[in-house]
Amino acid sequence: MGWNSWNYFAEKVTDKDIRDSADQIVASGMKDAGYIYVNIDDTWEGERDANGVLHTNSKFPDMKALADYVHSKGLKLGIYSSPGPKTCAGFEGSLGHEEQDAQLYASWGIDYLKYDMCSFIPAVMMKQAPSDKAAQMRIMVAAYDKMGKALKATGRPIVYSFCQYGWDNVWEWAPGIGGNLWRTTGDIQARWESVYDLMSEQAGLASYAGPGHWNDPDMLEVGNGKLSLAENRTHFSMWSMLAAPLLAGNDLPNMKPAIKDILTNRDVIALDQDPLGHEARHIYSKGEVEVWARDLKGGAKAIAIVNVGSDVYSTHPFHLDLAQLGLHGSQHAKDLWTGKEMDLTANMPIELPSHDILLVRIAEPK
């Protein structure tokens, strides 16, 4: 759990934004809720010197001092690079300098690396194996493996995040070469269609997630763009159901109370962080209502009922089918957004506003 600069600041991010965000993570209570990593995304990179040592650009005058500052708050610092010659935003990548860059990150005190494929595709994969897809994939895997080994060789624990948009079923091979999380999709955008697409693409990937290695449907857009409160709630709930990394991506110094309440909902975070690490599965859909379920430690279960349709009539009439969830008769549950105890009864009618969610935890499913 943490925060990343890209979704709000994009290429404008500066040292000051990172410090301010770290301050806010502490002041807002997000740190206490579990948000620990403060991740600088693309555009911090400067030029390499004659020895190949990469320097920061003028937006980040002193990376070591920044790391010290973030660490002094009890937080950790993440950074970003690419296996290609350039990053997605056209800054210096790590190609041919993997060991050197890994050592540099470690010397600064970096705790997390997001490694984004970008220019590696045209500059290396396409060039070395123009018409051999399988060979391109082998080259890609080798590049991620190379940086993984370089990070390991530093002796510093550095979380390794793969960003190659889910190519070649990354979930099958990433854990074997040291990946702690891997993007399963293209980039998220701060609008419902994107959130819904990415959530839908996770169906079928549940068995690949587990402690230490996670499917990453991309960073959170909670509080960004045009997402309504219901959409923000559903986005956060579903990422938690999916045991996804919770990397907030909003403007923390100007966060509205309602957004803070979503990002710091302890019950929903506990769902995300459940020690079993079992991701939710899509159980069934009826009309425009989707029902997902997740098994939790101690035999508990979480159920998410989402109206993915465009109006309230999408859920009308919707009757919850407990049998399809493997449940028998009335279930005592907690609504994780209202905090209220409730009973889920067989075939109970449920009406939800458009893009809203009923998220419940059943401590003792029957």
Which residues belong to the active site?
116, 187
Angle value at C-alpha 172, between 133 and 92, nearest 5 degrees:
60
Two structure tokens written together for 9:
């600041």
Please state the closest distance from residue 143 (CB atom) to ligand GLA, in A.
16
Residue 41 as a binder of ligand GLA (CB under 6 A): the answer is yes
Closest approach of ligand GLA to the CB of residue 245, in Å: 12
Nearer to ligand GLA, 29 or 186 (CB): 186
Residue span binding ligand GLA (CB under 6 A) among the ranges 84-92, 302-310, 341-349, 351-359: 84-92
* Cα 201 to Cα 214: distance, rounded to the nearest angstrom: 15
Size of interface with ligand GLA, in residues (CB under 6 A): 9
* Contact yes or no for 339/302 (Cβ under 8 A): no
Is residue 116 close enough to count as binding ligand GLA by CB under 6 A?
A: yes
Query: Which span (68-76, 83-91, 104-112, 302-310) binds ligand GLA, by CB under 6 A?
Result: 83-91
Chain positions 180 to 209 lying near ligand GLA, rule: CB under 6 A, are: 187
* C-beta neighbour count of 231 within 10 angstroms: 22
| Angle ∠(104,107,112) on CA atoms, nearest 5 | 75
The reply on whether position 1 binds ligand GLA by CB under 6 A is no
User: Looking at 33, 79, 88, 291, which residue binds ligand GLA (CB under 6 A)?
Assistant: 88
Residues between 297 and 356 that touch ligand GLA (CB under 6 A)? none
Sheet hosting strand 331-335, strand order edge to edge = 281-286, 289-295, 301-307, 357-362, 331-335, 341-344
Q: How many CA atoms lie within 13 A of 242 on its CB side?
A: 30
Is the distance from CB of 168 to CB of 141 less than 8 angstroms? yes
Cβ proximity to ligand GLA: between 47 and 341 the closer is 47
Among 36, 89, 205, 350, contact with ligand GLA (rule: CB under 6 A): 89
> Does the footprint of ligand GLA cover residue 177 (CB under 6 A)?
no
What does the alpha-carbon distance between residue 114 and residue 162 come to, in Å, rounded to a whole number?
A: 6
List interacting residues with ligand GLA (CB under 6 A): 6, 41-42, 87-89, 116, 163, 187
